[in-house]
Amino acid sequence: MKKLIKYWQIFWHMRRLHAMRMLEYRADFIFWLLISFMWTIFNFFFFAAIVNVTGVIAGWSTAEMYLLMAVFTILDSFIWSFFYNNMLQYTNDVFNGEFNKVLLKPIDSQFWLMTQNNNYANLLRFATGVGMLFWALRELELQPSILDFGLFLLLLSFSALFIYAVWFIISTLSFWVDKLDNINEIVPNVRRSFQVPHQVYTGIASTLFTVILPLGLVSSLPSEILLGRVSSWSTIFYFMTFTLITVLISRWFFNLSIKKYSGIAN
């Protein structure tokens, strides 16, 4: 319990530090806030243009697609707020031989790697996602029960955890490959796989994106909970189990990889 409190305090201490840094570079913050917001609007517009062609994508109506986009946007804000900067710092430290400073800290290395950085410029993205979510629910005349909403939040957390674990495994490959600066761009570039309903995937693509690496389920499953049309409870169970296994693998792979690490003193 004492350890948990310590980690909790460290987590918030780092958030405070980054909030102070953000206030120091206010113009920079506002600029990035604007850019992040522009990309969010662009993403909505992008799919609105496609949905408007026929009014439906893989059985999802326009309003349902907006709800899916809202869930995606909420997840996307996590990706850019927490995952991206931390993974970038992680791989840079490995490639530059400066990872010693992480290993020598008297806290869990993986915890530190995940919490040392964050970016507040995506707050507007998050707010837009939440706003769109409630707008879409109203548009669809849906009133999810507390249980549905709880399950939605649980699945959303699992989705974020899944993205994190996959990304962490990919970043940990930096111990094994020669300098590959764009290793951190892999997950951001496959984000579109969970920007669309999982019913879009058929044949081999379905096996790949919903079974082997179920990225296609990341936004779709939480959205389906809110829409009250869960396609299959076994799929949800599969996704949650898969996520937990991926997290365990990421942990195991990290512990294996740090044994391989050698770096100059810093």
Partner 1 sequence: MWNKWKTLYTRYFINAIEYRSELIVWFLLSVIPTLILILVWQSIFNSQGNIQGYGLGEIIQYYLLVIFIGELTASHFENWWVRMIREGKIDLFFTRPFSLQQTIFIGDLSRKTVYALLTLPLFAAIWWAMSQVWVIQPFNLSAAVLLGFVVCLAISYAIYFFMGLIIVFMGFWLEGAQSLEHFKWIIVTLLSGSFIPVTFLPDWLKNLVNLLPFKYMYAVPIGLLQGKTTISITELIYPLSFIVCLWIIAQILWRLALKRYTSAGG
Residues that bind partner 1 (CB under 8 A): 27-28, 31-32, 35, 38-39, 42, 45-46, 49-50, 52-54, 56-58, 178, 180-183, 185-186, 189-193, 195-196, 199-202, 205
Residue 43 or 235: the one with the smaller Cβ distance to partner 1 is: 43
Residue 4 or 53: the one with the smaller Cβ distance to partner 1 is: 53
Cβ atoms of 161 and 221 within 8 Å: the answer is: no
For residues 142 and 227, give the distance between their C-alpha atoms in angstroms, rounded to a whole number: 7
Pairing of strands 60-61, 56-57: antiparallel
Residue 11 or 31: the one with the smaller Cβ distance to partner 1 is: 31
70 burial level (CB within 10 Å; 0-12, 13-18, 19+)? buried
Kindly state the smallest distance separating residue 152's Cβ from partner 1, in Å.
24
Cβ atoms of 19 and 120 within 8 Å: the answer is: yes
Kindly state the smallest distance separating residue 108's Cβ from partner 1, in Å.
30
Kindly state the smallest distance separating residue 56's Cβ from partner 1, in Å.
8
The Cβ of residue 166 has, within 10 Å, a number of other Cβ atoms equal to 22
Kindly state the smallest distance separating residue 186's Cβ from partner 1, in Å.
6
Residue 48 or 107: the one with the smaller Cβ distance to partner 1 is: 48
Kindly state the smallest distance separating residue 35's Cβ from partner 1, in Å.
5
C-alpha distances (whole Å) from 48 to each of 10, 19, 169, 208, 239 are 42, 34, 33, 26, 28
Residue 207 or 255: the one with the smaller Cβ distance to partner 1 is: 207
